[in-house]
Amino acid sequence: MGADLVTVSVDSIEVHLAWQRHEVGLKNVKYSMGSDQSGAVSQMFGVYDDEAGKCLRGSFIISPEGKLLSSEMNYGDVGRNIDELMRKFKAYLHVSKHPVKACPSKWKDEGDATLEPGAKLVGKVFKEDGTY
Amino acid sequence: MCCDCENNEDLISLALGDEVPDFTIKTYEPTKGDFGEFTLAKTMEAKRWTILFFYPGDFTFV
């Protein structure tokens, strides 16, 4: 879909290799597994937990122009919904191709209802965003 | 904005809409079974998007 997915933790690349080869659920992994042992990149994105010396659970979407468009961070042991991350990515891709369109919360994929912000939409979002 | 994260004590993390400073990290590439590198500038050159997914540690859940 035109994106490079990189997972990042403070583990070494050797440990990434060992984990990927031994954990059955990671058998078909296609993404790059990044190692940020110094924590520098994690700090830049505000997801470095100094006390634990580890990354928090954080997801970021960066445009091809290098702009940070989306961030999600969870403290503690609550996992993320990958479907929501992919939905947001697809929505940003859609909006980037159709600059006047906006993707509302219920937008899931190409063909779903989009919004055109403007005077005509005021007070009528509920009719247009797929809620009713 | 943070330009030299390794030497900057007063780290300011990125805000939405910011240009992300270039960075490179070492990677393990499961599709090649080999080690590699990810550099933001190279992905931008290829006009590709980047999705970063930070997690606390290997052998845990995401």
CB neighbours of B4 closer than 8 A, spacing ≥ 6?
none
* Radius of gyration for the alpha carbons in chain B, expressed in angstroms and rounded: 14
SS3 A23: coil
CB atoms near residue B15 (< 10 Å): 10
Q: What is the mean pLDDT of chain B?
A: 86
Tell whether A1 is covered by a domain: no
Coil, helix or strand for A66? coil
Average pLDDT over residues A102-120: 84
Residues of chain A with Cβ-Cβ distance to B61 below 8 Å are 79
First to last CA, chain B: 29
Residue B15 confidence class, pLDDT cut points 50, 70, 90:
very high
Mutation target vs B (from A8, A23, A26, A33; most B CBs, 10 A cutoff) = A33
Give percent above pLDDT 70 in chain A. 96
Q: For residue A91, count other CB atoms closer than 10 A to its CB.
A: 23
Separation between Cα atoms, residue B14 and residue B2, nearest integer Å: 8
- Range with the poorest average pLDDT among A24-28, A97-101, B17-21: A97-101
% pLDDT > 70, chain B: 77
- pLDDT of the residue at B1: 44
Query: What's the pLDDT score for residue A54?
Result: 94
Once rounded to an integer, what is the mean pLDDT over residues B52-57? 95
* Res A19 pLDDT > 90: yes
pLDDT of residue B2: 47
The structural domains of chain B, with segments of one domain joined by +, span 22-62
What's the rounded Cα separation, in Å, for the pair A88 and A19?
28
For testing contact with chain A, the best of B52, B60, B61, B62 (most A CBs within 10 A): B52
- pLDDT category at A73 given cuts 50, 70, 90 is very high
Give me the DSSP letters along B9-22: SS-----TTPBPPP
Residues 6 or more apart whose CB falls under 8 angstroms from that of A109 comprise A87, A90
A47 in the same domain as A13: yes
What are B's interface residues with A at a Cβ cutoff of 8 A? Answer: 2, 5-6, 11, 13-23, 25-31, 35-36, 38, 40, 43-44, 47-59, 61-62
**Alpha-carbon dihedral of residues A25, A30, A31, A34, nearest 10 degrees?**
70
Burial class (CB in 10 A: 0-12, 13-18, 19+), A2: exposed
Identify whether the C-beta of residue A26 lies closer than 8 Å to the C-beta of residue A2.
no
Domain that holds residue A70: 6-80
Range with the lowest mean pLDDT among A29-43, A103-117, B31-45?
A103-117
Answer yes or no: do A71 and A10 share one domain.
Answer: yes
Binned at pLDDT 50, 70 and 90, residue A101 comes out as confident
Shared domain for A100 and A70, answered yes or no, is no
Number of inter-chain CB pairs under 8 A, A vs B: 181
Would the CB atoms of A60 and B47 count as touching at under 8 Å? no
Q: Are residues A75 and A41 in the same domain?
A: yes
Nearest residue on chain B to A22, alpha-carbon basis: B59
